Chains A and B, each alone.
With several copies, the nearest count.
Chain A
Amino acid sequence: MGFHLTSKDYANYIRKAYRLIHEKGDYITELDSATGDGDHWININMGFEKLVEAANELEEMTVFEEFKKIGTIMMSVIGGSSGVLYGSAYLAAAKTLKEKETIQNENLCEVLDAMLQAIMSRGNAQPGWKTMIDSLAPAVQCYKDCILNQVDEKTCLSRVKQAAIDGAESTKDMEAVRGRATYQANKGVGHLDPGAVTMSYQIATLMDCVLEKL
């Protein structure tokens, strides 16, 4: 019959994602120090901290309101490149949830796709440019393929998760075109993009949360 993700479920996902991100502090900071300016973890961690503080409130909202609120918090608390990108992503995703009570399989794919489009347009960036897009884009593509091919939800969600993780991994060999890694002589080749890694954490956690609902 498929999953129904409620705003409460999504708030729980936020709590879970926060725990993972929080835990990976040193690692992510190291990644952003190697090719960027070292602040990516501080900012995204702070953003999730604020989201967790607001989680009880988020639970009570419609998913539309919830996504709008998350977007607003992320934009203003995270700051930097990621803040405005995630903010835009959530605001765009919210639009796909207007009047919805829960998030079901196709909606979730639309949510992620809306996020991808928003990030690409706000960041003026393409897949393959060594950014967070390189985790999100393959995940969305995979999701779309699964729906097209009517892959069962469980398999689908696991594949999306893996696609996000592999996508983040694939940034290692890419040359940066956007973001601070472009300033390096070798365009960051040999290093993972921190934004892609934290994106993969979020997608993976989200898929795990949904899988639990099946």
Chain B
Amino acid sequence: MKKIINEPTKVVSEFLKGMEKAHPELEYTEKLEVLSRREKSDKVAVISGGGAGHEPAHAGYVGMGMLDAAVTGNVFSSPSPDRIIEAITKMNAGKGVLMIIKNYSGDIMNFGLAKDLAELEDIQVESVVVRDDVAVKDSTYSTGRRGIAGTVFVHKIAGAKAETGASLQEVKAAAEKAIENIRSMGMAMTPCTLPAVGKPGFLLGEDEVEIGMGIHGEPGVMRTTMKTAQETAEILLDKILQDYDYSNSEVALMVNGLGATPLMELYILENEIQTLLEEKQIKVYKTFVGNYMTALDMSGCSVTLMKLDEELKKLLDAPCNTPGLKIG
């Protein structure tokens, strides 16, 4: 394993220290692994978080127009409730706190417990759960769909809504509208290596890819041979369009890299996706190409669509200034 680290157990705290030094407008709370905006504003606080390993998510989306704080767990592990409570109490300005949770058992349980505890302290906390990954069957019986790259759109929408001075319920409603309209689908070409494990968690053959693999290297839905960019675009988009009707609508498109995929390849894929969307008369209002929600050093990609109405367009276009996303 070749990684630019010191000790596997210290990666999270050193990463966040580095973020604080690189971005003086952000503040790091040691031990609790919370990164927050230094200037607390008088509005609904929007927080998110989860296991580390998805950089720039989530710490990279802290800043004007997106998150007020991000809570980081160990690599691929949900943060514990005490960390989450720190973010809640620190950023609550009396208007309440919205938690944006990706749909994983661990996150649901930890954020859920933190919410219960915060409410005992009379802090108003609401939560929304992102479940955009169409690789996983939705189900009310099981945990259901995972939250993946689409989460970044939810951060953007909720953050922009909060900046308008909206109420907690309104911010929550905007986030939920976004969630309703977001679907994603991913593909992995190489495994990822947890720093503390030191070797990849699984193997893929020289010419194999895994469609639908999760952002923690959880097994996908289909293993197949490497396809062309065009075929890959078709496979990923088909799965999304089968699940949700985007026809005759305007969408935001995100082509996301999982960490080790060159930007050139992401744009090549994006080019194919645009062609397909045009054929299907789905109009792309805004496009995002880059590493937004990664899986350590995995190579691969995901495609996300968010259907837009006038409100979502306005919120998407609203300015934001975070290390991971700048608009306006």
Contacts and interface: CB of A to CB of B under 8 A. Distances in A.
A84 B113 contact: yes
Contacts of A185: 219, 221-222
Contact of B76 (A38, A84, A178): A38
A123 B218 contact: no
Interface string A31-44: 00111111100110
A162 interface: no
Given A33-B217, A83-B110, A122-B113, A38 B201 contact: yes
Interface in B129-162: 135-136, 141-143, 146
A29 B202 CA distance: 11
A21 B110 CA distance: 24
B36 interface: no
B196 interface: yes
Contacts of B80: 75-79, 83-84, 87
Given A36-B218, A38-B217, A177 B109 contact: no
Given A79-B74, A183-B146, A123 B216 contact: no
A42 B51 CA distance: 13
Interface residues of A, number: 34
B29 to A, nearest CB: 14
B197 interface: yes
B323 interface: no
A176 B218 CA distance: 13
B114 to A, nearest CB: 9
A81 B201 contact: no
B146 to A, nearest CB: 6
Contacts of A123: 105, 109
Interface in A78-93: 78-81, 83-85, 87-88
Nearest to B194: A38
B320 to A, nearest CB: 29
Contacts of A105: none
Contacts of B83: 76
B300 interface: no
A184 interface: yes
Interface in B90-131: 104-106, 109-110, 113
B9 interface: yes
A180 B218 contact: yes
A81 B109 contact: yes
B110 to A, nearest CB: 5
A182 interface: yes
B107 to A, nearest CB: 9
Contacts of B218: 35-37, 180, 183-184
Given A180-B105, A184-B218, A84 B81 contact: yes
A46 interface: yes
A80 B50 CA distance: 9
Contact of A43 (B77, B109, B146): B77
A77 B74 CA distance: 9
Contact of A84 (B106, B201, B217, B219): B106
A125 to B, nearest CB: 8
A182 B104 CA distance: 10
Indicate the member of B78, B109, B201, B216 with the most A CB atoms within 10 Å. B109
B276 to A, nearest CB: 25
B65 interface: no
Contacts of B197: 29, 33, 38-39, 42
Given A37-B201, A46-B9, A80-B106, A178 B194 contact: no
Contacts of A81: 78, 104-106, 109
Contacts of A127: none
Contacts of B221: 185
B142 A178 contact: yes
A87 B112 CA distance: 14
Contacts of B105: 81, 123, 178-180
B259 interface: no
Contacts of B76: 37-39, 80
B324 interface: no
B82 interface: yes
A33 B113 CA distance: 27
Interface of A: 29, 33-39, 42-43, 46, 75-81, 83-85, 87-88, 122-123, 176-180, 182-185
Given A80-B51, A84-B78, A87-B81, 16 more contacts: A35-B218, A36-B216, A36-B218, A39-B51, A80-B106, A81-B105, A84-B106, A123-B105, A176-B142, A177-B141, A177-B142, A177-B143, A178-B105, A180-B105, A182-B136, A183-B146
Interface of B: 9, 51, 73-83, 104-106, 109-110, 113, 135-136, 141-143, 146, 194, 196-197, 201-202, 214, 216-219, 221-222
